[in-house]
Structure 1
Amino acid sequence: MTVSTKKDHKLTEAFLLESERLPSSLLFAELKRQARQVLSEAGLPTIKNEEYKYTGISKRLTDQLPNLGPSAPFADIEQEMKAQEALVRAVGGYTLVCANGRFQPNLSTVDQQQFVVSSMASLDSDSAAQIGQIEKNEADSFTALNSIFFEDGVYIRVPAGKIIDRPILLINFVKATEKGSCVHPRTYIQVGKNAEVTFIEQTVWLGEATVFVNAVSEWTVGQNAHVRHYTLQNGRKNDLAVTNTRSSIYQDANFTSIVLSLEGGMIRNNLSLDLRASNCEGNMYGLYLLNGKTHVDNHTNVDHMQAHAESNELYKGILTDHSRGVFNGKIFVRQDAQKTNAFQQNNNILLSEDATVNTKPQLEIWADDVKCSHGCTTGQLDEEALFYLRARGIAKDAAKALLLHAFAGEVLDQIKEDGFKEYCETLVHARLGGNY
């Protein structure tokens, strides 16, 4: 992904002006200096920028968020944690809690013998120097924006050889002032050689004011490590979010991402996998169920850098009302990446005439000994299948729900943690079985 060429000058200048009020940071001074330079030159994107042509997030920020300053710290979220009891119980693992991007160790359950967790504000200089080396400021203007404004974050290290027996749930509670606020969560996760771990991530929106969540997540997946990262997006209809997630994946390693987008105002997900060595594997799955005027834009990028690597990608969407889905998937196969095996597919079902999908799967191949395929489909429910079910006495609404469940199930089946899978299936079935 590249920085924008058509920029929103007024919004960019407003954010840069707001940044002058921030306290100075010695630990991340150089990262923030570079980010200011990138944002000043590139600016925040408008719909005239090719990468954001269908997603006018900058205009939404201008229209909905009079206050561009960062959200203040807040406490007293014990009661809010109780409201998440069903999710915590379903995951049945460790829990890491953040409030407006700031780590809350008193509300978290950590086994430091299994994995190490630190707040970014408390890192030593060597660890702090790793931040911004995977997802660089130049990758996307919103990454640079995050680098300017983040004050704290979560740094997680899974030592070599550790098999984490339970999932790690990362919950970030976000809350705005009355005029709205911005939250810039930052996460860095390093998984060592031969380690194995599952992360589950959800943002919980509090209060009524609009919150813009601009998150950056960086991953290092060491040799022969196995990592699963599940993201549940189930916010509110007026909320705005941009996520930039990038993983560096090394020899014989496996990284799987699953993104479930169920609710939100406008969501933009940028997900990038860098397959840096041979025999590594990257998997990307997504499911978006959109209604009302919800807008979800998934931009994915897989970079095959070396030979004998594999990537699999499947995104599915079900849309109704005036909702809009965007999928732009890119696969790059470099000249040295012979024997690459890459698969990409995007399938969509539209349940109303006013729902819209813009999809663009892409391949760029510079090697000559590869197996690569991509494709997309957009349509309505299969009328023959619907007729088949109704002919066997199944009511129309029930038959429709069965077909939609089957369509969504191909992504949900990729979730390997039974408790979390059942929790997500309950959310999906409630949506598809009701007046969707």
Structure 2
Amino acid sequence: MNLTTEYTGLKDSLLTDFQVWESQLAGGEKSTLHRVRREAIRQFDRLGFPTTKHEEWKYTNVGALTKQAFGFRSSTNLTVADVGALLVPHLEANVVVFVNGIYQPQLSRLVSPKADLRVEDFADAYQRDPAFVEQHFAQSAGYEHDAFTALSTAFAQHGAFIHVTDQKIIEHPVLLYFISDARSGNVASQPRNLFVVGRNSQVKIAEFFHTLGNNTSFTNAVTEITVEPNAYVEYYKVQEESEGAHHIGTTHITQLERSRSFSATITVQGGFVRNNLRVGLEGEHCEAHLFGLYLPDGKEHVDNHTVVDHAKPRSYSNELYKGILNGRATGVFNGKIFVRPDAQKTNAFQSNRNIILSDEASMNTKPQLEIFADDVKCSHGTTTGQLDEDALFYLRSRGIDADAAKSLLTVAFAGDVISQIHLPALREYIEQRVTRKLGQV
């Protein structure tokens, strides 16, 4: 493969890694999947990592990440007890564990009938049914303009493959745990996830990201979700990573006629986080709800980019993202709503609300509407400010000290998002994590 490698650092090492490993990747060098991989690695080479000169990365600098050296480690000594300490308590679920991006069947357990729900490693799914995987892989998460998605596509090997067959309501949620074990050195992982929810079916899926150890980790996660006609997906992403974690996450949800989606992205902790979420409403009468909560403090950086693309008539979307920033943290929210010419009778609403708790924290927010149809109802809004002084005074006048009053108000502010979580056990888990962090305010 003729690849130009004039750049040094992480990009150079990844191009070399691909040349070394490509024959070992799922499907082999002659497969359709691998032809896509080769196109993607060439595109990654052409694009390079984005800089702050790119409009989409104006406030998020990946320079520190690209200067790091990472190892890909496949072995693990984690036990069931180690993983158990990370699980959501009191929630009967299908549990699927990945350590450093590699599926760990000995740490996983499935409780739903296989006839209704197929959950397996991406590589195993491709070996079993290559035509089905090729039908959905890299269809919505395009790599033409996104270096990180191109990188993920080139190295697509491990990750979660979930297929819900038609006419099935999956009782038990699927919990995916992605654990970066950085205890013995810097580590990188690139989980590539592919979910297909069949016609008239329903499923709840949650992705959890954790870091063990104090070394640097790099997670480049891409998830593609297809929601077929009259189907429903409930999708959660929960990030509890370390200060040394670099997380680039991209999720694409494609909805067909009369399908519904719910998504909640909760960033409790993570040194450097960029979340990209795109929801494409490709059929009539679709419905999408997007929620987000981010709590950066210290020197943490959290960037959320969302796109809701209304392509067909008579669909509805509602989006609420809220942030609480402290210390020297930085936050970014960029939310776009597209209403295409054919998407008449669209209702689309977006709101971003932020509280700044320190003089050194900062937030950059940019809501956008691009409307090419005339019979629509759309709105967007954003606010960034401090805690309500009148509310603080009221609580203080009732004998509540200043720190406790701030904690009460910030937890209540976050509660608008937490209350939307439909799974009671998960809602309680998130509430505890958020309250614990905000209690340090």
TM class, shorter-length: over 0.9
Counting only pairs closer than 5 Å after superposition, residues 86-165 of structure 1 correspond to structure 2 as: 87=88, 89-110=89-110, 111=112, 112-122=114-124, 123=126, 124-129=129-134, 130-165=136-171
C-alpha contact (below 8 Å) 1:202/1:232 kept by paired residues: yes
Q: Deviations for 1:182-209, whole angstroms, at most 9, x for unmatched residues?
A: 2000110000111111111102212332
In 2, Cα distance between equivalents of 1:40 and 1:177? 31
Q: Give the alignment of 1:297-376 within 5 angstroms.
A: 297-376=303-382
Does 1:235 find its partner at 2:270?
Answer: no
SS state of the match for residue 195, structure 2? strand
Please state whether the residue corresponding to 2:394 is helix, strand or coil.
Answer: helix
CA contact (8 A) 2:294 2:324 kept: yes
Aligned position for 2:257:
251
For 2:69, the equivalent position in structure 1 comes to: 66
Runs of 4+ in structure 1 deviating by more than 6 angstroms, as ranges, are none
The aligned counterpart of 1:3 is none
Given residue 389 of structure 2, which amino acid in structure 1 is its aligned partner?
A: E
1:29 aligns with 2:34: yes
Counterpart Cα distance in 1 of 2:174 and 2:84: 18
Counterpart amino acid of 1:228? E
Q: Which residue of 1 aligns with 2:3?
A: none
Q: Which moved more, 1:405-414 or 1:391-400?
A: 391-400
Structure-2 change in CA distance of 1:176 and 1:290 (3 Å): closer
* 1:75 Cα deviation after fit: 4.8
Mean Cα displacement is larger for which, 109-118 or 40-49? 109-118
Shift of 1:139: 4.8
Kept in 2: contact 1:70–1:184 (CA 8 A): no
Query: Could you say what secondary structure the match of 2:193 adopts?
Result: strand
User: Is contact 1:75-1:99 (8 Å) kept?
Assistant: no
Moved more, 103-112 or 422-431: 103-112
- Counterpart CA distance in 2 for 1:35 and 1:77 is 36
Of residues 97-106 and 210-219 in structure 1, the stretch that sits farther from structure 2 once superposed is 97-106
Q: Summarize the alignment of residues 8-87 of structure 1 with structure 2, pairs less than 5 Å apart.
A: 9-10=7-8, 11-24=10-23, 25=25, 26=28, 27=31, 28-57=33-62, 59-63=63-67, 65-67=68-70, 69-85=71-87, 87=88
- Looking at structure 1, the residues matched to 120 and 69 of structure 2 have their Cα atoms a distance apart, in angstroms, of 33
Q: Name the aligned partner's letter for residue 224 of structure 1.
A: N
Indicate if the aligned counterparts of 2:174 and 2:206 stay in contact, CA closer than 8 A: yes
| Structure 1 position 177, deviation (Å) | 7.9
Aligned-pair CA distance for 1:278: 0.9
Q: Select between 341-350 and 40-49 the one with higher mean Cα deviation.
A: 40-49
The answer to whether the Cα contact below 8 Å between 1:153 and 1:186 also exists between their aligned partners in 2 is: yes
Find the aligned partners of 2:72 and 2:65 in 1 and give their Cα distance. 13
In structure 2, relative to structure 1, the CA distance for the partners of 1:176 and 1:22 (3 Å cut) is farther
What letter corresponds to residue 20 of structure 1 in structure 2?
Q
Deviations 1:295-341 (A, max 9, x none): 00000011100000111111000011100010000111000000110
* Secondary structure, counterpart of 1:388 in structure 2: helix
Distance 1:212 1:126, change over 3 A: same
The verdict on how the C-alpha distance between 1:245 and 1:304 changes in structure 2, with shifts beyond 3 A counting, is same
Partner of residue 410, structure 1: 416
> Residue 224 of structure 1: which of 224, 227, 230 is its match?
230
For the residues of structure 2 that align with 1:139 and 1:177, how far apart are their CA atoms?
Answer: 34
SS at match of 1:300: strand
Q: Tell me, in whole angstroms, the C-alpha distance in 2 between the residues paired with 1:432 and 1:215.
A: 27
Contact conserved, 1:96 with 1:105, CA < 8 A, in 2? yes
- The one-letter code matched in structure 1 to 2:306 is T
TM-score (norm 2): 0.92
Q: Distance in 1 between matches of 2:181 and 2:407?
A: 35
Are the equivalent residues in 1 in contact too, given 2:334–2:367 (CA < 8 A)?
A: yes
Which whole-Å CA distance do the structure 1 matches of 2:75 and 2:22 have between them? 14
Kindly provide the CA deviation profile for residues 74-113 of structure 1, in whole angstroms up to 9, marking residues without a partner as x: 354324213224x2x2432221112222222332222313
Q: Distance in 2 between matches of 1:393 and 1:102?
A: 52
Give secondary structure in 1 for the equivalent of 2:295.
strand
Displacement of 1:286: 0.5
2:201 is matched with 195
Q: Distance in 1 between matches of 2:329 and 2:301?
A: 6
* Deviation by residue 1:140-160 (Cα, 9 ceiling, x = unmatched): 210111112232222110111
Is the aligned partner of 1:381 residue 2:387?
yes
Helix, strand or coil for the counterpart of 2:321? Answer: strand
> Could you tell me which residue of structure 2 aligns to residue 4 of structure 1?
none
Q: Are the equivalent residues in 2 in contact too, given 1:70–1:149 (CA < 8 A)?
A: no
Q: Partner of 1:5 in structure 2?
A: none
Report if the CA contact (8 A) 2:210-2:242 is conserved: no
Distance apart, 1:9 and its partner CA: 4.0
Aligned partners of 1:70, 1:134: CA distance in 2, in Å? 27
Aligned residues: CA RMSD = 1.8
User: Comparing 282-291 with 134-143, which one deviates more in the overlay?
Assistant: 134-143
